[in-house]
Structure 1
Amino acid sequence: MFSEVNVRVYENLVSLLLRLGKKEEALEYIERSRSKTLRDTFLKSGITSFDEKTRGLLTLYDELSRKEASINYELVSEKGKPTPNLEKVDNLVKTLAKTRKDFTKVTSKLSTEHPDIYKLLSIQPGTFLDLEKKNKLPSNSVFVEYFITDKQTYIFLMSDKDLIVKRVSVTKEELNNEVSSFREIVQKNKSIPSNAWRDNGSDKYDDNIKPFKDVSIRLYRYLLDPIEDEIKDADIVAIIPFGSLHYLPFNALAKESSDGGLEFFIEKKGLVYLVSTSASYLDLVLRNGKKREIGSVVAFGNPDLGEPELVLPYSEEEVLVIKEMFPNATVFLKRDATKDNFKRSWGKYEIVHLAAHGLIQEDPSILLAPIGSGSLTLTDITGLQPARNTQLVVLSLCDAAIERNGSNPTGAELNSVALAFSSVGASSVIASLWRVDDRATSQLMKKFYRNLKIEGKFNYEALRKAQLDMLKRSDKYSQPFYWAPFVLVGVWE
């Protein structure tokens, strides 16, 4: 996986470039570090198209990319000295030119011999700024990309008009700890109605509610306060997280309201997530995302896994409600909810809904029937024939959760699933950031589809309204634990 040495190379170079005001170049190196993390995840998953020759080519690409970044850092640092060593500068310039030439050759070979892998793994050079020149970016949106280092955090704000960079004095270790605390406290509070946000002097408030308020407000102050002026006129905020921020639902970050309660970010803005701002990825999702009327739906629910404790009655009910709202929908339940039926259905429907057990981890899998051979993996997904009609894949997986990756979380688990589906034609994916029980998931999904069908909402609006409806309830389901983890990755219309 992406070693600490490699991480440090990119962190150092990005920080140096930003100090020198070279924000566009810094953004390009951030995207390189993202693509490396994704490649590691796909390689580890054992995708069959990665034979030994291809793996060797990808390894060489990564080695040259890291070497180029390291030499560039040394060169820029030397040039920035009051009295640079001109001989050293000259040697570094020559070495950098040769490394870039070798790097270009490998990149060209990958694009020619393995175009699918080249696009899938965001290797294609270029960033958001290339798309800006093509006027492809929605005018009502702001893209917010985070980059976290050992010393501080950078926030890139990108619109169809400008690129702005903000610096925040919060370290990687501090943010990792805050995100971990947030997730732990959210799960601890899952049985407490949210009308208890205000301080009532009780022990329950001090022990449970106040810790959540404090960590949510702190994270809002670090991550959203610095950009409030820049995003105030945007309808959509597209978040490109970094590291541990992939495990954080930005929709549940909050400011304290005037009456002592909480005002959540979801109450102010529409929110989506993106895998990266590389030109190849954005070309992919923006091309896929031409809005059409919702037509065909296929739904899989409560797969028969042969064990009573694995039965999901509410997921079956969820699928039947979808059938009721979309009478022409095709549904597969229990023994019919198989991987073979999923593969046969792929590409024929605009919405694909999976209500099952699953785990989004280093090697993601969705458990379809039959038990043992029904797991849908990254290999299966990327092996599907590209679909022209699929607008949305909904992973209503009651056991799905992003599993944090040790002390250096990367977020590649969710990104790899979203990127895999987008590579075979899906415009967007809805998934969960932690385990949510069967009943709560079913309730939220019913609201989501009702918003899509009856109110004609866009994907992000339908999900947001469903989450807001749950937030406004007076029972335990108003807690962020039940509605906040569901995120939309990709195209929002």
Structure 2
Amino acid sequence: MMLKRHHLLGWLFLCSLIFNLVINQIFITDGSMELAAARSLVKTASVLSKVNTKNDIQPASGNLKENRGDVCIDQINSQSDNQGIGENFRRQSIGNKLSLVAENIRYTSNNLNSAIADIGDLQMIEIEKYYGRNCHFLANSQRTDLSLSKTNTAIFHSIILEERTAIIVSFPRDNQRLKLQWINVNSQAFREEVNQFRISLENYANITYNPQQAQKLYNWIIRPFINDLESLQIKTLVFIQDGILRSVPMAALHDGEKFLVEKYAIATTPSLNVTNLQTSRQKKARALAVGLTKDAIIDGRRFHALKNVRAEINQVKMQIPGSKQLLDEDFTRDRLQSELSQNFYPIIHIATHGQFGELPNDTFLVTGDNQKLTISELDRILRSIYNYYKYIDLLVLTACETAIGNDRAALGLAGVAVQAGVKTALASLWSINDASTVKLVTKFYEAWYHSGVSKAEALRIAQRSLIASDGVSSHPAYWAAFILVGNWL
């Protein structure tokens, strides 16, 4: 009986392989069949490479359904190889679809829409691979369309291929226009250019910032679409980034006169499919503000005292009445979990050293008792306490850092909102031990919590206030590190 079962499984796999080859031939020879063929390929590869698990997604109040990152099921490590196969498959499929755009204009819309969907799938495969778990999410295109029409938002999708990089932009309005632009630079050269941009941003030694590298990336990524952005009166840019692009802030791109954030509100998200875009604001929201002001030693590495954290925490309490603080010795893993289990805090503000590394266990926050709070542990704490009707609206991490050129670490930062099950994360790409962070945090909460603007617009207001200061803090090293991940509304 067991032998027959193995023969049956082998026969099914062979049939699936033959089916893929046949469909792939159609994909190459007949552009009109490309969309259906590619979808069949992706679906088949997904079935072969993933373990089926139940979609445990519940509806929220109203007509919209929640897209939440807390319906993740831990998977065995042996799945990582299959995920890698799926990742490579989708990347090749996306490249094929985008190549057809130039060859057959008739199917441009279908090809671009299909490529955008696959880019979203690819992002989630990479995050799943990083965190070692398989996550299932429910897409809701109606909610996305509604948000675009309300906020004059354009969505930038990127995909880095071996010989060139594609930028696809989704514009709002009735037909949701799409536009493709190629950056004709191979992946290695493109990576080096992006890393040079990041290095220039963190160069505190240069009092006068040289925007040359920021202009180069602006000309590649933004300038080809500037006429559309202006004619459609776009106010917000949302980036779904690939690879090394996750490690740099788009806010610091420069058009030769101004930084991008001086003209647009900016946010990033791993995928629209996992972004909860509900705009309802919880009444009388309060914050749990935790932080570390002292030196700490973790695994032999010294983390120097963050001298402005106490002032930062005080500002959070001042801006958001009813908030509570856990500072230094009071900030421990057990105390944090206990406080969150006893009281509901829609806003969690964490001002301590954070490191995003190659692996989830190397991605952690430093607590007041010289311990690591890994992002996986934070994820478990938050998901065990909150549910669909009590969710975290905002998670702030103001002293995190990712290594230059490490897109694996940047992937961890990009997925933090998804993994922790929060609507929005505001985090830093590099640590800034300076009073400018206090100013930025204060301006952000003033604009968002009190004035009621969107989170992306609130961050724009805060960053512009530093740019306009004409002091040391006008340098992008002091403000560009902060990125908004997830819901930008």
* TM-score w.r.t. length of structure 2: 0.68
CA distance in 2 between counterparts of 1:176 and 1:225 reads 19
Per-residue deviation, 1:138: 2.6
Partner of 1:299: 289
CA distance in 2 between counterparts of 1:243 and 1:142 reads 20
Q: Secondary structure at the match of 1:254?
A: coil
Residue by residue, what CA displacement relative to the aligned partner does 1:113-143 show, whole Å, maximum 9, x if unpaired?
xx9x9997555587xxx61598444312111
Per-residue deviation, 1:367: 0.7
* 2:74 pairs with 1:50: yes
Partner of 2:488: 492
* 2:184 pairs with 1:188: no
Alignment CA distance shift 1:69-1:290 (3 Å): same
Structure 2 counterpart of 1:443, from 430, 439, 445: 439
CA distance in 1 between counterparts of 2:260 and 2:290 reads 32
Q: Secondary structure at the match of 2:435?
A: helix
Partner of 1:331: 325
Alignment CA distance shift 1:118-1:215 (3 Å): closer
Q: Secondary structure at the match of 1:321?
A: helix
CA distance in 2 between counterparts of 1:336 and 1:171 reads 50
Q: Is the 8 A contact 2:160 2:242 kept in 1?
A: yes
Per-residue deviation, 1:309: 6.5
* 2:174 pairs with 1:162: no
Alignment CA distance shift 1:419-1:171 (3 Å): same
CA distance in 2 between counterparts of 1:59 and 1:318 reads 44
Partner of 2:260: 265
Q: Is the 8 A contact 2:287 2:324 kept in 1?
A: yes
Q: Which amino acid aligns with 1:269?
A: Y
Alignment CA distance shift 1:463-1:163 (3 Å): same
Structure 1 counterpart of 2:228, from 216, 227, 230: 230
Per-residue deviation, 1:228: 1.3
Partner of 2:315: 321
Residue by residue, what CA displacement relative to the aligned partner does 1:1-27 show, whole Å, maximum 9, x if unpaired?
xxxxxxxxxxxx9xx98x959689889
Q: Secondary structure at the match of 1:177?
A: helix
Per-residue deviation, 1:337: 1.6
Per-residue deviation, 1:440: 2.7
Per-residue deviation, 1:319: 0.4
Q: Is the 8 A contact 1:142 1:237 kept in 2?
A: yes
Percent identical among aligned pairs is 21
Q: Secondary structure at the match of 1:255?
A: coil
Residue by residue, what CA displacement relative to the aligned partner does 1:41-68 show, whole Å, maximum 9, x if unpaired?
xxxxxxx9635xx334564465467569
CA distance in 2 between counterparts of 1:477 and 1:369 reads 28
Show the 5 A alignment for 1:142-291: 142-160=154-172, 161-190=176-205, 192-193=207-208, 209=209, 212-232=210-230, 233-256=233-256, 262-277=257-272, 279=273, 281-282=274-275, 285-287=276-278, 289-291=279-281
Per-residue deviation, 1:441: 2.0
Q: Is the 8 A contact 1:444 1:483 kept in 2?
A: yes
CA distance in 1 between counterparts of 2:165 and 2:88 reads 21
CA distance in 2 between counterparts of 1:72 and 1:313 reads 47
Alignment CA distance shift 1:428-1:221 (3 Å): same
Per-residue deviation, 1:190: 4.9
Alignment CA distance shift 1:291-1:323 (3 Å): closer
Q: Is the 8 A contact 2:294 2:328 kept in 1?
A: yes
CA distance in 2 between counterparts of 1:492 and 1:272 reads 6
Q: Secondary structure at the match of 1:170?
A: coil
Partner of 2:411: 412
Aligned positions, number: 389
Q: Which amino acid aligns with 1:416?
A: G
Unaligned runs of 5+ in 2: 1-23, 46-71, 100-120, 122-127
Q: Is the 8 A contact 1:244 1:410 kept in 2?
A: no
CA distance in 1 between counterparts of 2:408 and 2:321 reads 43
Per-residue deviation, 1:71: 9.8
Q: Is the 8 A contact 2:240 2:268 kept in 1?
A: yes
Alignment CA distance shift 1:334-1:59 (3 Å): same
Alignment CA distance shift 1:75-1:151 (3 Å): closer
Alignment CA distance shift 1:20-1:479 (3 Å): farther
Q: Secondary structure at the match of 2:216?
A: helix
Q: Secondary structure at the match of 1:391?
A: strand
Q: Is the 8 A contact 1:149 1:172 kept in 2?
A: yes
Q: Is the 8 A contact 1:300 1:319 kept in 2?
A: yes
CA distance in 1 between counterparts of 2:323 and 2:181 reads 47
Per-residue deviation, 1:149: 1.4
Partner of 1:9: none
**Cα-Cα RMSD:** 4.1
* 2:379 pairs with 1:364: no
CA distance in 2 between counterparts of 1:226 and 1:75 reads 21
CA distance in 1 between counterparts of 2:261 and 2:368 reads 36
Per-residue deviation, 1:70: 7.3
CA distance in 2 between counterparts of 1:489 and 1:290 reads 18
CA distance in 1 between counterparts of 2:455 and 2:409 reads 26
CA distance in 1 between counterparts of 2:295 and 2:338 reads 20
Q: Is the 8 A contact 1:190 1:479 kept in 2?
A: no
Q: Which amino acid aligns with 1:322?
A: V
CA distance in 1 between counterparts of 2:441 and 2:287 reads 14
Residue by residue, what CA displacement relative to the aligned partner does 1:432-475 show, whole Å, maximum 9, x if unpaired?
11222243322321222232344333221221111000001121
Show the 5 A alignment for 1:339-378: 339-346=333-340, 348-362=344-358, 363-372=362-371, 374-378=372-376
Alignment CA distance shift 1:170-1:319 (3 Å): same
CA distance in 2 between counterparts of 1:187 and 1:303 reads 23
| Runs of 4 or more above 6 Å deviation | 23-33, 67-77, 117-120
Partner of 2:424: 428
Alignment CA distance shift 1:246-1:359 (3 Å): same
Moved more, 155-164 or 483-492: 155-164
* 2:387 pairs with 1:389: no
Q: Which amino acid aligns with 1:371?
A: N
Q: Is the 8 A contact 2:417 2:423 kept in 1?
A: no
Residue by residue, what CA displacement relative to the aligned partner does 1:237-284 show, whole Å, maximum 9, x if unpaired?
11111111111111111112xxxxx3111111111101124x3x13xx
Q: Secondary structure at the match of 1:286?
A: coil
Q: Is the 8 A contact 2:38 2:93 kept in 1?
A: no
Partner of 2:141: 131
Q: Which amino acid aligns with 2:198?
A: R
CA distance in 1 between counterparts of 2:433 and 2:165 reads 34
Q: Secondary structure at the match of 1:154?
A: strand
Per-residue deviation, 1:382: 3.6
Q: Which amino acid aligns with 2:291?
A: G
CA distance in 2 between counterparts of 1:310 and 1:357 reads 9
Q: Secondary structure at the match of 1:473?
A: coil
Q: Is the 8 A contact 2:77 2:132 kept in 1?
A: no
Q: Secondary structure at the match of 1:244?
A: helix
Q: Which amino acid aligns with 1:151?
A: E
Q: Secondary structure at the match of 1:457?
A: coil
